[in-house]
Structure 1
Amino acid sequence: MKKNILFLLLASLSFTLFSCNKEENDRWNVEVKTSEPVKITDISAEFYNEKIPFQEFKEKYSFFLAPQVPDATYEKKRNNTLERRMYKNAISLNKIPQLEKDLSELFAHVKYYFPKFQNPKVYVFSSATELYQEPILYIPNQKILFIDLSAFMGEKSEYYEGIDYYIKKDMNPENVITRVSETIAVDYVPVTPDQNKFLDKIINQGKLLTLQDAFLPKTLDQYKIGYAKSQQEWAVSNEENIWNYFVENDLLFSDDGNLNERFLNKGPFSKFYTEIDQKSSPRVGAFIGWQICRKYLSEHPEVTLQQFLQKNATEIFNNTNYKPKS
């Protein structure tokens, strides 16, 4: 019988939220120019402005409105007291000047590594939480970025009643930039549909998180991967045990699609099928893939970020001395 993982419950210890070493930090500690300012357009500010006729709004923002939705439906939404209140709450918590500054820094880092990147036109709005699961829309070929601020009003917001906690914990104002960074990062990780082994998938997730390291070098790891503080601490303290479980249960080269739901997809916890599951952190496969990628880059400082992204999972793994120890 294959061994079950033996988890270390070290809740009383204090762990740093940064698990990368000094060499890894140095790689991303670069000086970038943020000479290109970001100017955000608040669509909802005009949508809920009674002084602006709807037809005038429609002509200006026709690209934002669904053509199949009748004007009367939008008129009703404009006068919805609850939706207006939610918008005001969202915009009060997500300060536009600070968001413009943060986006400018993020875009500068992206451009540093990918010179062809061009700053997108940024629009913010409130969907009254209708789009809370997919609040960021990035259209690179049109250079447009939409951000639904009603999805970032704080995990304890009165408007989030009924939403699962594992989703709400990513719905804080401080999660906006990491969600934007994550969405942009997807555009730079090569799609490998023919590589369906678990190792391929965790390395692919690791590449996305490595781009977060590059794009947001000052951001805490917990926000990059979407963890609560306690979940980050749990993953760090149990890294060796998680890895041993993957190895001892022959998961690395498995093509079992259920492993996505167990260890890669967002959820309340990972599924080892043991009594400890509900105390575990979610997405531990992505966490391990991230640490493998970090280890590879620390051991191969001559490899550029662009070169690294083109390497397949097997090459990265075989050229990495990844042996986590608690």
Structure 2
Amino acid sequence: MPGIAINPRSSFRDDNHYRMKNVFLILFAFALLTACGAEKDTCVDKPDLGGIKVDLNIERLEDDWKNCESEEAMLAFMNRNPEIASVFFKRDQYPNDSIFAKVMLERAKNPAVDTLYNESKKRFGDFSDIRADLEETFKSIKYQYPDFVAPKVKTIISGLANDMYYSDSLIVIGLDFYLGKGATFRPINYPSYVLRRYDKPYIVPGIALLMSQRYNLTNGKDRTMLSDMVFYGKSYYFAKQILPCTPDSLLIGYTKEEYEEANEHQPVIWASLLQNEMIYETGHMEKSRFMDERPNTTEIGPKCPGRIGRFVGWKIVNEYMERKPETSLKRLMAEKNSTLIFKESKYKPS
């Protein structure tokens, strides 16, 4: 199993590059013994949530939508659920409501949608497992933020129109997007490294990451990649605290192998970022190579997963919080100074 290699276009001087290659060989030898094993799923400290109460309201709408038998009934359904009509079914793109209702009724009766509906029923059942996970998620947030009010949750089958909608007061889950690799129909125009995350186990972690945005404060004037890295790092740290036993690989959307390789080769990754002077880069195109969705970060090596800057940001935030045990999650999320977090983390993998 090959490891993460330094890109041959390195601008290191030859002697430094040679030393880095030797370091990599040592790391790679060690990784052969560890990286191919199962990820160690460790739980962070889990608070006692027994006294926390939340009002969890889940409304299953897939039956209501599928059972509409007339255009009038369909339009009434959409009027009762304006976010679904707008975000999932793009109501504003139709010339009038009559045409919109007609098209939606035809879609609901489409045989392919029947297949999605039936497979969703089988895959998600009574939703009790996700309900339990959402309840724990909301309780964990309320433990940290006592004023938190749980958003309403709705589920829908849409014919793969959309995956998820989030606001502070409402979450809509397009269940047919999350049927997984065994589904008859899957979302189109998604690369495999993104498509694999459209599966049931990713629903609640994805919601936790979305909900972190409510609390994740940033300095809007700081356009550096470091600021972006710390922003994502705080989001992943938040989600891990809210879902303490969720594997890190699941939170960040890597395979276990990708996560283990990135984790073991942090010194190589960090050296490459420093070598290419990326930490304080402000150019969008330059940052995107390390922050955005890609199959691999080839600037570091062919086996380095995409979004590696987000991964490193998470490690920086973890180091910061380990050095600042008195810092609460609430205080971390309110800290806008990414440079302060970075410097006080003393992040320097070795």
TM range (shorter): 0.7 to 0.9
Q: 1:136 aligns with which of 141, 152, 164?
A: 164
2:180 aligned partner: 154
Stretch of structure 1 that moved more, 156-165 or 241-250? 156-165
Matched, 1:316 2:341: yes
Matched-pair contact (CA < 8 Å) for 2:164–2:172: yes
Matched, 1:296 2:320: yes
Write out per-residue CA displacement over residues 216-241 of structure 1, whole angstroms, 9 at most, x where no aligned residue.
11100011111111111111111111
Q: Distance in 2 between matches of 1:147 and 1:242?
A: 35
Question: Shift of residue 16 of structure 1?
Answer: 5.8
2:129 aligned partner: 98
2:3 aligned partner: none
Matched, 1:59 2:76: yes
Question: Shift of residue 57 of structure 1?
Answer: 4.8
Matched, 1:78 2:99: no
Which secondary structure state, in structure 2, belongs to the residue aligned with residue 319 of structure 1? helix
Summarize the Cα distance change of 1:267–1:91 in structure 2 as closer, same or farther, 3 Å threshold: farther
Question: Shift of residue 211 of structure 1?
Answer: 0.7
Which secondary structure state, in structure 2, belongs to the residue aligned with residue 41 of structure 1? strand
Residue type matched to 2:308 in 1?
V
Q: Distance in 2 between matches of 1:158 and 1:12?
A: 38
Matched-pair contact (CA < 8 Å) for 1:198–1:251: yes
Matched-pair contact (CA < 8 Å) for 1:44–1:125: yes
1:124 aligned partner: 155
1:38 aligned partner: 56
Write out per-residue CA displacement over residues 79-108 of structure 1, whole angstroms, 9 at most, x where no aligned residue.
101012112212321231111111111111
Q: Distance in 2 between matches of 1:167 and 1:303?
A: 34
Write out per-residue CA displacement over residues 123-161 of structure 1, whole angstroms, 9 at most, x where no aligned residue.
001222222xxx221121xx1111111111113433126
Q: How does 1:189-208 map to 2 (within 5 A)?
A: 189-208=216-235
1:48 aligned partner: 66
Write out per-residue CA displacement over residues 252-310 of structure 1, whole angstroms, 9 at most, x where no aligned residue.
122232233211112211231x6x32x22111111111011001101111111122223
Question: Shift of residue 59 of structure 1?
Answer: 2.5
Residue type matched to 1:182 in 2?
L
Which secondary structure state, in structure 2, belongs to the residue aligned with residue 184 of structure 1? helix
Question: Shift of residue 11 of structure 1?
Answer: 4.9
Name the TM-score, length of structure 1 as normaliser. 0.87
Q: Distance in 2 between matches of 1:316 and 1:286?
A: 15
Which secondary structure state, in structure 1, belongs to the residue aligned with residue 287 of structure 2? helix
2:5 aligned partner: none
Summarize the Cα distance change of 1:260–1:136 in structure 2 as closer, same or farther, 3 Å threshold: farther
Q: Distance in 2 between matches of 1:260 and 1:291?
A: 18
Question: Shift of residue 54 of structure 1?
Answer: 4.7
1:211 aligned partner: 238
Summarize the Cα distance change of 1:77–1:197 in structure 2 as closer, same or farther, 3 Å threshold: same
Q: 2:305 aligns with which of 269, 281, 296?
A: 281
Summarize the Cα distance change of 1:260–1:126 in structure 2 as closer, same or farther, 3 Å threshold: farther
Q: Distance in 2 between matches of 1:212 and 1:280?
A: 23
Question: Shift of residue 19 of structure 1?
Answer: 8.4
Residue type matched to 1:13 in 2?
T
Q: 1:231 aligns with which of 254, 258, 262?
A: 258
Residue type matched to 1:138 in 2?
Y
Which secondary structure state, in structure 2, belongs to the residue aligned with residue 137 of structure 1? strand
Which secondary structure state, in structure 2, belongs to the residue aligned with residue 122 of structure 1? strand
Provide the alpha-carbon RMSD of the alignment: 2.3
Q: How many residues align?
A: 311
Which secondary structure state, in structure 2, belongs to the residue aligned with residue 145 of structure 1? strand
1:17 aligned partner: 39
Structure 1: unaligned runs, 5 residues or longer: none
Structure 2: unaligned runs, 5 residues or longer: 1-9, 95-99
